[in-house]
Amino acid sequence: MISEDDAADAALLADLRGVLGDRARDNDFERGLYSRDGSIEGSPPAIVCLPESAAEVARIVRVCRRHSRPFLARGSGTGLAGGAVPVGRPVVIATAKMDRIIEVDIDNRVAWVEPGVLNLDLSRALTPQGFHFAPDPSSQQVCSIGGNIANNSGGPHCLAYGVTTAHIAALEVVLPSGDTAILGGVEAEPAGFDLRGLFVGSEGTMGIATKAAVRLTPNAPAVRTLLLDFDDVSEGSAAVSAIIAAGLVPSALEMMDKRAIEIVEAFAHAGYPTGAAAVLLVELDGLPGGVDAGVEIVREVALKHHVGHVRVAADDEERALLWKGRKNAFGAVARIKPDYYLHDTVVPRSKLTEVLEKVYRIADAYGLIAVNVFHAGDGNLHPILAFDRREPGVDERVKAAGRDIVAASIEAGGVLSGEHGIGLEKRDYMGMLFSAHDMYTQDVVRETFDPDGLANPLKIIPTGSRCSDSFHQHVPEGAWV
């Protein structure tokens, strides 16, 4: 017997096949692949589409409109807040086949790229001309530019260079109406409201980016990377604030706690000091004079805060090794527990010590293990709660601990997310940061783009309907944050 839903799906598939042929798929295997992102398990989408052009994306969106069917774009699926998790049996529009670097325009310091281009591939392609794309999420080997735009992604080097929005000059987007528009521009001051700025970070709820003019950042002539270790987490945190207060803006300033150091060292063999309570990974870039002066300032500040050792990477090989430890830290967590729940909040730098202590206390109270590897320079915490989902009742404890950590961060003057976005995971926490009227206003703005609520619905802004999923996450080894 054919249900109404199945009949609707079949009609939708027939129309999408008319656009895409066999690149519109409804087999269980592929639908299963697209039922989740880097975070939570959702339900499978009705159909997976693999367009190869902006024109195809526009036609898919029009078909979805005709069928009143929600749709959502998906890049590499590395998101950690459930932004690409299907809700309401939608059509998933995967951008993997739209992966061309269309033009590198050095004169205007932009590259026009399709959304499926991978972040690191772009920077590698720009290397011969001496440029790179500045946002560098830890997942940069596999995450896509489209995903970076949707989430306004950050990364270790955003401390000095800013997050994705500062690096997007213009976007070609397919609006939820099915029309195509260019938001922003390569010219100095595009006229009118900054629709580009509004679109970046809107997690696919205002349409689908089909092309982007990304800004090119010149590669720094000099780079120095330092590893500092401390016997006391609070000394390490205080050193972070002191480095910034001394007038330095390092290109990256990362911190790892004792457990993280041990896990990473066992995995990467980077020579991290396993006895230390905390390490800071500090990177300075720019012209050689400023970089050398900066190294000395960091050294002085570190000595005042009772640093154990100051290790300055001697060459690119040693730098790469130090970063290998940092960028692969999360995959290594499986060494202590099979599962983990990963957080992303931001607090003022001066509150790092206080909030870290709370994170440990919260984890203890719920019988979980907290591991911290994070972007200390901008106060962006990434506490990991490691657990074994086979333990009875652990899901509820993990979820409760997560909420407590978010609450502690907001209480310290922080925000819900530094770089992962809101998605589904934090949607219902928005009220901790924003008033009902703030959220109403955001929703009015969203609705301007998507009055029918078909573009990645039920994300970001809390609604009356709550997803009954518990947000425990099983992040596979090799996930990045």
Partner 1 sequence: MSSQPSSAGSPPAAASTGSADTGASLAANIAAEVTAFAGEVGISDPVTVVGAQTHWDVGGVPLAGTREVRSPAGVWEHEPSEMTVRCGAGTTVAQLAAHLAQTGQMVPLDPADDAATVGGVLACGFSGHRRLRYGHVRDLVLQTRHVDATGKVVTAGGPTVKNVSGYDLARLLVGSLGTLGLLAEVILRTLPVPPAAQWLEGDGDPFVALDLLYRPSSILWNGSHAWILLEGDAADVAAETAKVEPLGFCVTNGGPPIPAAGRESMRPSDLRALAGRPGGWIAEVGIGLVHRHEPVPAAPVAPANAVLMDQLKQRLDPDNRLNPGRRAW
Q: Which of 417, 415, 411, 400 shows the shortest CA–CA distance to 481? A: 417
3-class DSSP assignment, residue 102: strand
CA angle 86, 72, 418 (to 5 degrees): 85
Q: What contacts 24+ positions apart, CB below 8 Å, involve 8-15?
A: 8/67, 8/69, 9/46, 9/47, 9/89, 11/67, 12/46, 12/47, 12/63, 12/64, 12/67, 12/69, 12/91, 13/46, 13/47, 15/63, 15/66, 15/67
Interface positions, 309-328, toward partner 1 (CB under 8 A): none
CB neighbours of 107 closer than 8 A, spacing ≥ 6? none
Nearer to partner 1, 331 or 383 (CB): 383
Nearer to partner 1, 257 or 425 (CB): 425
Considering only residues 59, 224, 358, 426, which one is a binding residue for partner 1 as defined by CB under 8 A?
A: 426
Q: Residues binding partner 1: what is the number (CB under 8 A)? A: 87
* Segment near partner 1 (CB under 8 A); pick from 30-38, 146-154, 227-235, 317-325: 146-154
Binding of partner 1 by 104 (CB under 8 A): no
User: Do the Cβ atoms of 90 and 67 come closer than 8 Å?
Assistant: no
Considering only residues 41, 52, 105, 391, which one is a binding residue for partner 1 as defined by CB under 8 A?
A: 105
Interface positions, 192-221, toward partner 1 (CB under 8 A): 192-195, 197-198, 200-202, 218, 220-221
b vs e for 241-255, b when ≥16 Cβ sit within 10 Å of the residue's Cβ?
bbbbeeebebbbbbb
CB neighbours of 439 closer than 8 A, spacing ≥ 6? 430, 431, 461, 462
Nearer to partner 1, 44 or 462 (CB): 462
Distance of closest approach, residue 159 Cβ to partner 1, in angstroms: 8
Task: Using alpha carbons, list the distances in angstroms from residue 26 to 75, 87, 184, 250.
Answer: 18, 16, 36, 48
Interface positions, 160-179, toward partner 1 (CB under 8 A): 162-163, 165-166, 175, 179
User: Do the Cβ atoms of 386 and 369 come closer than 8 Å?
Assistant: yes
Binding of partner 1 by 191 (CB under 8 A): yes
Considering only residues 35, 274, 328, 442, which one is a binding residue for partner 1 as defined by CB under 8 A?
A: 442
Considering only residues 181, 277, 321, 369, which one is a binding residue for partner 1 as defined by CB under 8 A?
A: 181
Nearer to partner 1, 275 or 463 (CB): 463
User: Do the Cβ atoms of 84 and 74 come closer than 8 Å?
Assistant: yes
* Dist. CA 72–CA 459, nearest whole Å: 11
Considering only residues 259, 321, 350, 467, which one is a binding residue for partner 1 as defined by CB under 8 A?
A: 350
* Segment near partner 1 (CB under 8 A); pick from 23-31, 57-65, 151-159, 323-331: 151-159
Distance of closest approach, residue 315 Cβ to partner 1, in angstroms: 21
Binding of partner 1 by 73 (CB under 8 A): no
Nearer to partner 1, 109 or 258 (CB): 109
Binding of partner 1 by 421 (CB under 8 A): yes
Nearer to partner 1, 265 or 378 (CB): 378
Q: Helices (H), strands (E): how many in the chain?
A: 15, 20
Left if phi > 0, otherwise alpha if psi is -120 to 50, otherwise beta: which for 247? left
User: Do the Cβ atoms of 374 and 355 come closer than 8 Å?
Assistant: no
Task: Using alpha carbons, list the distances in angstroms from residue 398 to 340, 351, 388.
Answer: 9, 23, 10
Interface positions, 369-398, toward partner 1 (CB under 8 A): 375, 378-380
Binding of partner 1 by 157 (CB under 8 A): no
Binding of partner 1 by 407 (CB under 8 A): no
Interface positions, 449-478, toward partner 1 (CB under 8 A): 449, 460-461
Distance of closest approach, residue 51 Cβ to partner 1, in angstroms: 20
* Segment near partner 1 (CB under 8 A); pick from 2-10, 23-31, 94-102, 431-439: 431-439
User: Do the Cβ atoms of 34 and 74 come closer than 8 Å?
Assistant: yes
Binding of partner 1 by 435 (CB under 8 A): yes
Distance of closest approach, residue 212 Cβ to partner 1, in angstroms: 16
Nearer to partner 1, 162 or 308 (CB): 162
Interface positions, 219-258, toward partner 1 (CB under 8 A): 220-221, 241-242, 244-245, 247-249
